[in-house]
Chains A and B, each alone.
Chain A
Amino acid sequence: MLIKFEVNGTPAEVDVEPRLSLADCLRDTLHLTGTHLGCEHGVCGACTVIVNGEAVRSCLMLAVQADGENVVTVEGLSNDEALTPLQAAFRKHHALQCGFCTPGMITTAHALLSEEPNADADRVREVLSGNICRCTGYVPIIEAVLAARTAYGADQ
């Protein structure tokens, strides 16, 4: 099936098998390997991308379901010049070790803070509890996301 959607602000047109997941389409067809697969059954959150502003598990979504939609991956939340405030906060707080869960954490946190820049620690923990990290113990991830809130317009 031929589908058209927007990925990281650029139009994409791909011919996919109906059974292809959005995650595999992003990784294998479009070579956006920042989206990771940790479980392929919707639990770990490593594959989280942003579809029309909402955090979505790309392993649970078919590529054909993205037809006509707007998809943003971790690559789309990055630029070459400098780390974004969210990324810089992750680095500063040592919120990543192996880095495998990191793209999913960044996309999930970005979707959250874009909607709720004043999210408190409990809210951040609640939302990120859908993303598994085996390395950090989460404490620094929560610190990083809380620290990044001002960049999303949180009340000072």
Chain B
Amino acid sequence: MNGERAPNILIGRPIERVEDPRFLRGRGQYVADVNKEGQLFAVILRSSVAHGMLRKIDGDSALKIPGVRAVITAPDLGSQVPVIPLRLHPLPQLEPFCQPVLAHDKVRYVGEAMAVVVADTAAIAEDALDHIDVEIDSLPAITDRAGAEAAAATLFEQHGTNVAIKWTAVRGDADKAFQSADYVRRETFRVQRHAALFMEPRGIVAEWDDAAQRLTFWGAAKVAFANRKILADAMGLSEQQIDMVEVDVGGGFGSRGEFYPEDFLIPFAARFLNQPIKWVEDRREHLMTGNHAREIECDVEIAATNDGRILGLRGQSWTDNGAYIRTNGSVAPRNVAQYMSGPYAIENIHLTTSSLTTNKTPAGTYRGPGRFEGDFVRERLIDLMARDLGLDSIEVRRKNLVADAQMPYPFATITPYEFASEFDSGDNHALFELCLEEFGWAEKVELQGKFIDGRYHGISIGCFIEGGAAGPSEDARIVLETDGMFSVYLGSASVGQGIETIMAQIAGDALEVPFDSIRVLHGSTAHVTAGYGSFHSRSTAMGGSAILLAAEALRTKIRAVAAATLGCSPSDVSLDADRARGPSDTSVMYAELSSEPIEAEATFRNKKTTYAYGSLAAHVAVDPGTGQVEVIQVSSTKDVGRMINPATLRGQSVGAIVQGLGGTLLEHLVYDEDGQLLTGTLADYMLPTADDFPNISTTVIELKPAPHIPLGAKGAGEGEIIPIGGVIANAVANALADLGVEPYELPLSPPRIWQLIEAARSSG
């Protein structure tokens, strides 16, 4: 076996997850389950005003309540209130828009933190909130694009504009293409504000060890190393003085684990009072403080030839970023412009996105950031074009998808913070045809536009790409313990996607040892030297590749140690499931190899993005009397290059589809004109439930391994959420084609659809 790789026996199998038994028995340990001896409880005083000058915060009477230990306001933080820096795209022109950890001169959204109350119990701290004297001189709230663009009103006076930045994506010569095109159509599209809304509220437990001058932070997720750096800088500590500990995490979807104000405030309070402090948000707080997402207006036009070849995309978009630009606040605006072309060969592109600030909760990434929005616009435009030109929308897509032979094929280049990327390898056409087949397009097309039992039926299909494996690197360390077990330490974080299982599968195959002899530890800063975390669908591809490298290095070390024991040369040693073998039947068990653990650490570096490709089809029925859209079936296909665990992958696919359906049909964070959030409970913010979308089938295949990733796996955590808005809107338009209804705005809620039908009827 020496030198020869054994066939994979773990990778590619639907192995039951190692996480499950503890979760199923109620023995998971989420941050709200973490308790420290002598801990106090923090709650946050939040602004109830969307925009105003903060004149006074007086905590004196709150401090008189028995059990209240502190009311921390901006002056307690020192001469400068720390500002949360940008984790991604750190451009100097965005710095004025970054969020201070506590409001001091001004409040800019409902929910903004103004003070921290610490008490013996959470209930006492909450009671104390009512006894803090706050004076805010209200200013007019800016809640939409028109308000944001009116020069007179600004959230940041010194900056003079509410346009934080404008991004531009360019390829070819769009103006020229539009000038000579046979066909041009321009429309305005809107996607509503909604959010990731993971089920476990955010929380933190922080403890300061004054003697050792060390801080421990429980509740890290996603990007523990980046957050440790931000926290260290803000607290005047070195990174080595802070341990970020990841416990079980109840969902992330892009939003959890970014650096929020509380990520400073709770550790600060722990040091300030020199006592452990626990904070867990409630759902209302989460709805008004966790990153919002998706709100955008897009004025975009498409140019094509009369036979349906797309020549160009051109236009402008405006994202409503809320009151501040947060750590990853530029991702969605950039992606909208750069990836609006999706998997189609569009040679001429000029798309801009302006990031606007308004008096609403700041926005960040949510699964498929910018791609969900951009795909909605593009897939709608393609169908409008096909209808206008009298072409079959299936043929139009076949004609325009980037073909395998055209790859690598470039996307538009985005500036500033210039980034160019290209399709790596994939077969869009194969996935499209497979999706048509799996969905049963040929039979269902009979239903297109038909009125049956009081409802109009419509079907539609769209195509998508999912970027993954963002660089720059990921670390893994593998230790052969003295008991013969292998511990795998990873920089990748879990956000509930089953990383312990997937990484153990990869490590087991790489080490050629059984699944049960692997233990995976991840996410905490003590485990490896560096880590970049779990975002941009990167954990499996990046962390998994780091495991391959570390495993190879460890096997070399084990051979050397075994050779010394067996009295042979390392090249004569072969490694078995539980032991190292030398020549002529000599062997030594791993558990007896050494009195010291043997370990190897490796870093996998990669600058290139992987792309997973896929298609998604849907069948809807629309009740014209109520405007209700029922999703009768969704089918999807996706190529992930290499599947580690088909069961967890299917879980990601189905989960993404249902989330996308929520964002398309149900979910909406609604504000009034004063900037008050009207959807502050789960009774107002409608999430999909078990009876909404029963028929979902997903097909994931291994067609084209990622060329730049040794593991071959492409990022696969976001995929199918991306095309949903466009596909469902097109299906609704197809269903209502006889009435001439064309939706340009999400969500496709019953009142909106009903109004479109009424408007079409009265004008028709």
**A and B interact physically:** yes
Does A52 have its Cβ within 8 Å of any Cβ on chain B?
no
Which residues of chain B have C-beta atoms less than 8 A from A136's C-beta? 651, 654-655, 658
**Which are the 10 A-B pairs with shortest beta-carbon distances?**
A34-B26, A98-B496, A99-B23, A100-B250, A137-B658, A74-B26, A43-B682, A78-B25, A137-B654, A33-B33
Does B209 have its Cβ within 8 Å of any Cβ on chain A?
no
Partner of B25, one of A75, A122, A134: A75
Partner of B696, one of A19, A99, A139, A141: A139
Give the docked Cα–Cα distance between A126 and B492 (Å).
Answer: 37
Given contacts A34-B26, A83-B21, A106-B24, contact A132 B250 (CB under 8 A): no
Which residues of chain A have C-beta atoms less than 8 A from B656's C-beta? 137
Given contacts A102-B23, A125-B690, A137-B696, contact A94 B648 (CB under 8 A): yes
Which residues of chain B have C-beta atoms less than 8 A from A142's C-beta? 690, 694
Using A36-B199, A41-B683, A131-B689 as known contacts, list a sample of 10 further A-B pairs with CB atoms less than 8 Å apart, ordered by residue number in A: A19-B123, A40-B282, A40-B283, A75-B25, A78-B24, A97-B496, A97-B497, A98-B198, A132-B199, A135-B496
Does B215 have its Cβ within 8 Å of any Cβ on chain A?
no
Given contacts A134-B253, A136-B654, contact A100 B199 (CB under 8 A): yes
Does A35 have its Cβ within 8 Å of any Cβ on chain B?
yes
Q: Are B21 and A98 in contact (CB under 8 A)?
A: no
Q: Name the CB-closest residue of B to A39.
A: B283
Which residues of chain A have C-beta atoms less than 8 A from B659's C-beta? 134, 137
Which residues of chain B have C-beta atoms less than 8 A from A128's C-beta? 689-690
Q: Which of B12-20, B50-58, B414-422, B596-604 contacts A (4 or more CB under 8 A)?
A: B12-20
Q: Are A103 and B26 in contact (CB under 8 A)?
A: yes
Q: Is the interface of A mostly helix, strand, loop or mixed?
A: loop
B301 CB, min distance to chain A CBs, angstroms: 35
Q: Are B498 and A97 in contact (CB under 8 A)?
A: yes
Does A66 have its Cβ within 8 Å of any Cβ on chain B?
no
Which residues of chain A have C-beta atoms less than 8 A from B20's C-beta? 90-91, 96, 99
Which residues of chain B have C-beta atoms less than 8 A from A91's C-beta? 16-17, 20-21, 24
Does B201 have its Cβ within 8 Å of any Cβ on chain A?
yes
Does B409 have its Cβ within 8 Å of any Cβ on chain A?
no
Which residues of chain B have C-beta atoms less than 8 A from A46's C-beta? 199
- Taken residue by residue from 677 to 688, chain B's Cβ proximity to chain A (1 for < 8 Å, 0 otherwise) reads as 000011100011
Q: Are A98 and B251 in contact (CB under 8 A)?
A: yes
Which residues of chain B have C-beta atoms less than 8 A from A64's C-beta? none
- Taken residue by residue from 26 to 61, chain A's Cβ proximity to chain B (1 for < 8 Å, 0 otherwise) reads as 010000111111111101101000000000000000
Q: Name the CB-closest residue of B to A128.
A: B690
Q: Are B24 and A83 in contact (CB under 8 A)?
A: yes
Q: Name the CB-closest residue of A to B696.
A: A139
Given contacts A34-B27, A94-B647, A128-B690, contact A137 B657 (CB under 8 A): yes
Which of the listed residues A17, A78, A129, A133 has the most CB atoms from chain B within 10 Å of its own CB?
A133
Does B693 have its Cβ within 8 Å of any Cβ on chain A?
yes
Which residues of chain A have C-beta atoms less than 8 A from B24's C-beta? 74, 78, 83, 87, 90-91, 96, 99, 102, 106
- Taken residue by residue from 647 to 665, chain B's Cβ proximity to chain A (1 for < 8 Å, 0 otherwise) reads as 1101100111111000000
A62-95 residues with Cβ-Cβ distance < 8 A to B are 73-75, 78, 83, 87, 90-92, 94
Q: Name the CB-closest residue of A to B497.
A: A97
Does B155 have its Cβ within 8 Å of any Cβ on chain A?
no
Which residues of chain A have C-beta atoms less than 8 A from B210's C-beta? none
Q: Are A140 and B651 in contact (CB under 8 A)?
A: yes
Partner of A73, one of B26, B253, B689: B26
Which residues of chain B have C-beta atoms less than 8 A from A43's C-beta? 681-683
Give the docked Cα–Cα distance between A135 and B498 (Å).
Answer: 11
Given contacts A91-B21, A91-B24, contact A99 B682 (CB under 8 A): no
Does B436 have its Cβ within 8 Å of any Cβ on chain A?
no
Residues of chain B touching chain A, judged by Cβ–Cβ distance below 8 Å, are: 14, 16-17, 19-30, 32-33, 123, 197-201, 248-251, 253, 282-283, 495-498, 647-648, 650-651, 654-659, 681-683, 687-694, 696
A35 CB, min distance to chain B CBs, angstroms: 7
Which residues of chain B have C-beta atoms less than 8 A from A103's C-beta? 26
Q: Are B200 and A98 in contact (CB under 8 A)?
A: yes
Give the docked Cα–Cα distance between A74 and B648 (Å).
Answer: 24
Q: Name the CB-closest residue of B to A84.
A: B24
Give the docked Cα–Cα distance between A133 and B690 (Å).
Answer: 8
Given contacts A90-B20, A97-B655, A129-B691, contact A134 B30 (CB under 8 A): no
Which residues of chain B have C-beta atoms less than 8 A from A97's C-beta? 251, 496-498, 648, 651, 655
Query: 25 interchain pairs (CB within 8 A)?
Result: A33-B26, A39-B682, A73-B26, A83-B21, A91-B21, A94-B650, A96-B20, A96-B23, A98-B198, A98-B249, A98-B497, A99-B22, A99-B24, A101-B199, A102-B24, A125-B694, A126-B691, A129-B691, A133-B690, A134-B253, A136-B651, A136-B658, A138-B689, A138-B693, A142-B690
Q: Are B690 and A44 in contact (CB under 8 A)?
A: no
Q: Name the CB-closest residue of A to B653.
A: A137
Give the docked Cα–Cα distance between A97 and B282 (Å).
Answer: 22
Give the docked Cα–Cα distance between A140 and B495 (Å).
Answer: 19
Given contacts A33-B33, A40-B283, A98-B496, contact A135 B251 (CB under 8 A): yes
Q: Are A129 and B689 in contact (CB under 8 A)?
A: yes
Partner of B251, one of A27, A75, A134: A134
Q: Name the CB-closest residue of B to A99.
A: B23
A65 CB, min distance to chain B CBs, angstroms: 18
Partner of A38, one of B16, B29, B200, B648: B200
Which residues of chain B have C-beta atoms less than 8 A from A87's C-beta? 21, 24-25
Given contacts A98-B200, A98-B251, contact A141 B690 (CB under 8 A): yes
Given contacts A99-B496, A106-B24, contact A132 B651 (CB under 8 A): no
Q: Are A139 and B654 in contact (CB under 8 A)?
A: yes
Give the docked Cα–Cα distance between A30 and B495 (Å).
Answer: 28
Q: Name the CB-closest residue of A to B647.
A: A94
Q: Name the CB-closest residue of B to A135.
A: B655
Give the docked Cα–Cα distance between A27 and B692 (Å).
Answer: 31
A135 CB, min distance to chain B CBs, angstroms: 5
Which residues of chain B have C-beta atoms less than 8 A from A37's C-beta? 32, 201
B752 CB, min distance to chain A CBs, angstroms: 23
Which residues of chain A have C-beta atoms less than 8 A from B647's C-beta? 94
Which residues of chain B have C-beta atoms less than 8 A from A138's C-beta? 658, 688-690, 693-694
Give the docked Cα–Cα distance between A54 and B682 (Å).
Answer: 23
Give the docked Cα–Cα distance between A142 and B14 (Å).
Answer: 19
Give the docked Cα–Cα distance between A133 and B123 (Å).
Answer: 28
Q: Are A38 and B696 in contact (CB under 8 A)?
A: no
